[in-house]
Amino acid sequence: MPVFLVLFILVLTDVLSYSLGSWILAITAVVTMLIHLTFDAFNPNGNLDANHRLAKDREESGDLWVPNQPKGEGGVEAGSGVNVGHYVGYALLGIGALAFVVPPLLLLAMGATGNPSWNPEVFGPGDEAYVYFDKRITSVKGYWSGSPTVSILNWDTLGIPGPAPVLTGRSKQDSWAGTITISSRGGTTSSPLLYSYVTFPADERLAGKKLQLRINMNVRYPKLMSSNMYQDTMEPAQYDGSVTLSGAKAGTTYKSAWWLGSGVGLLLSVIGGIVLPLASSSFAKKANKTEIFAPDEPPGLSPDDEVPDAPADADDREQGRYREGDDDGDRLRRKREE
């Protein structure tokens, strides 16, 4: 969960693009599934003969008493422990990993063209996207306000009749006046990166076209002049770059698919991760009850009574009491009294 949440935060703060975030989320889900599989692949009951040999080694070291049986512990095979819950859990994890990559696969199916420096990286006529300028300002508390204007520089070469359409731009609109209160926990100034939103007209003739854009923006911000004084400052900023538009509302479709795929992937990964340990714990409930053999406890005494230690050369079966299971064979257990 922490890894998934960090990745979501990185996408929402524009550190990772939507597509890159989808692939990393999917890889994380696959790694999570492999970790579960590593735990489930280890079966301590897989080789009863090896368990018996290990017990005999501990018997020789004095840590354990083991009945001399030729093979295993007898009784019914414990099995692998795999049940329907495991199949369901791994199915959920697998489907969750696939859900994460639905958005980038959708882009391939749509034949959309990405614009790596924009967010979202895919958009078309009727969509809104934003881009960061290669410029920062240093203002009091990071306040600033921008008024962008957008123009298409290569309209005459696109082969579309008529005048160039109007592209609407908008940006951050902080307001301040008079005294600006500064928190003691935060810095006086910060240096935000400038950005601008652009709304592309719903003109289907623009689909598939590569537009050379220029965004001019007048930025107003409070500039620190002394330790307790600021001055309103106006500064120009400009962005030049090209974008390729995909089909109509491709950006809206892509963002909706990203949120749906990521949400479903996260939900299924979490549920699958919960189902698997529950399925494994249900296997433990099938274990037979432990049979206890107390060699140092004379007959007729309760477990709370104090008894002297048996002689070192005493035979376990003669000095103690044991009881055999009445369900599956001659399994024997011992509990030493310290």
Residue range 16-35: mean pLDDT, rounded: 91
Residue spans per domain, the chain: 2-106+269-322, 124-245
**In angstroms, what CA-CA distances link 310 with 30, 273, 296, 299, 318?**
57, 50, 6, 13, 11
Instruction: Report pLDDT for 40.
Output: 81
252-295 pLDDT, tens digit each:
888 899 999 999 999 999 999 999 888 888 777 777 676 666 66
The pLDDT assigned to 291 comes to 67
Is the pLDDT score of 317 beyond 70?
A: no
- pLDDT score for 283: 74
What's the pLDDT score for residue 245?
A: 92
Q: 330 and 287 in contact (C-beta within 8 Å)?
A: no
Degrees (nearest 5) of the Cα angle 277, 292, 318? 160
Please write the tens of the pLDDT for every residue from 199-208: 999 888 899 8
Model confidence pLDDT, tens digit, residues 257-268: 999 999 999 999
**CA 306, chain centre distance (Å):** 56
Token pair, residue 15, equals 């550190």
Choose among 140, 100, 24, 88: nearest CA to 264. 100
Q: Does the pLDDT at position 338 exceed 70? A: no
Band of residue 297 on the pLDDT scale cut at 50, 70, 90: low
Q: Quick one: pLDDT at residue 300?
A: 52
Beta bridge partners of 174: none
- Percent of the chain clearing pLDDT 70 (strictly above): 79
pLDDT value for 39: 83
pLDDT over threshold 50, residue 319: no
Contact 33, 26 (CB under 8 A): no
Banded pLDDT at 177 (limits 50, 70, 90): confident
Please report, rounded to a whole number, the percentage of residues in the chain having pLDDT higher than 90.
39
- Lowest model confidence (mean pLDDT) among 47-51, 103-107, 181-185, 274-278: 181-185
pLDDT tens readout for residues 68-119: 555 544 556 666 678 888 899 999 999 999 999 998 888 888 778 889 889 9
Separation CA 54–CA 38 (nearest Å)? 23
Tens of pLDDT along 108-145? 887 788 898 899 999 999 999 999 999 999 999 889 99
For the full predicted model, state whether its pTM sits above 0.85. no
